Amino acid sequence: MHQTSRLAVFAGHFGSGKTEIAINYSIKLARRGEPVTIVDLDIVNPFFRSSEAKDVLNREGVRVLAPVFAGTTVDVPSLPPEIYSVFQDKRSRVVFDVGGDEKGAAVLGRYHPYFIREPYDMFYVINTKRPLSGCVERIMETLKAVELHSRLKVTHLINNTNLMHETSVEHVLEGQAVVELLSGELDIPVAYISGTPEILAQLPEDYRDKGFPLELYMHPPWDMD
């Protein structure tokens, strides 16, 4: 992992895989011996919120803060006041998992006054095999909407192109071509190419230094065999 700011935000459109990456990122920090809190602000997708992996995160030493409705059937979230404490405790790294549309970004925007007081990294996760994410123009549209409603700026891109268990290295490289075009258009660097270790091992040598290996923690209810 690259040297990063204390505050790290992971955003992305529905199906981008940003929650999986946020969880992996948090666990990698914890395994380095750093105190870590993950803040689950994803009120959009009930199947893949990072609080669903709370037991795994807790075992790894990651503190989890989530809306009160996370893990329940409540529709309107109540954000715990403890979230404000992560901006005050400078000893801990903080990872934010943000919802995949304007509503999710607006929740993040509530904390805008705190973010602008110190450096932050905002990673925009892209899976070009998902709807509304297959071309530069559509990705740019959703990225700009997230920036507008969160009042924060995306600082890095992550190529997480995949078809779940059907993913090939060719799929990842196709996605990388799109993400690199977007990077050139917006002047935002590509930080990582994420995927399973088996897929990353097949990347061309030029891309190996961007590899971000994933352990898969998140599963939809229909994949719980």
Q: Which residue has the tokens 């105190």?
A: 35
Cα–Cα distances in angstroms (integers) from residue 150 to residues 58, 108, 109, in the given order = 28, 5, 4
In a domain, 35, yes or no: yes
For 21-74, the pLDDT digits (tens) are: 999 999 999 999 999 999 998 776 655 566 778 889 999 999 999 877 545 554
In a domain, 215, yes or no: yes
In a domain, 2, yes or no: no
How many domains does one find in the chain? 1
Residue among 181, 185, 172, 183 nearest 213 (CA): 172
Q: Say which CATH number the domain at 64 has.
A: 3.40.50.300
Sequence-separated (6 or more) residues with CB below 8 Å from residue 151: 109, 112
In a domain, 218, yes or no: yes
| Residue range of the domain that includes 214 | 7-223
pTM of the model: 0.92
In a domain, 1, yes or no: no
Lowest-confidence range among 130-134, 158-162, 170-174? 130-134
In a domain, 92, yes or no: yes
Beta bridge partners of 73: none
In a domain, 57, yes or no: yes
User: Residue-wise over 84-114: b if at least 16 C-beta within 10 A, else e?
Assistant: eebbeeeeebbbbbbbbbbebbbbbbebeee
Q: What is d(CA 99, CA 146) in angstroms, rounded to the nearest whole number?
A: 9
Q: What is d(CA 23, CA 38) in angstroms, rounded to the nearest whole number?
A: 8
Residue 124 · residue 144 · CB < 8 Å: no
For 84-97, the pLDDT digits (tens) are: 999 999 999 999 99
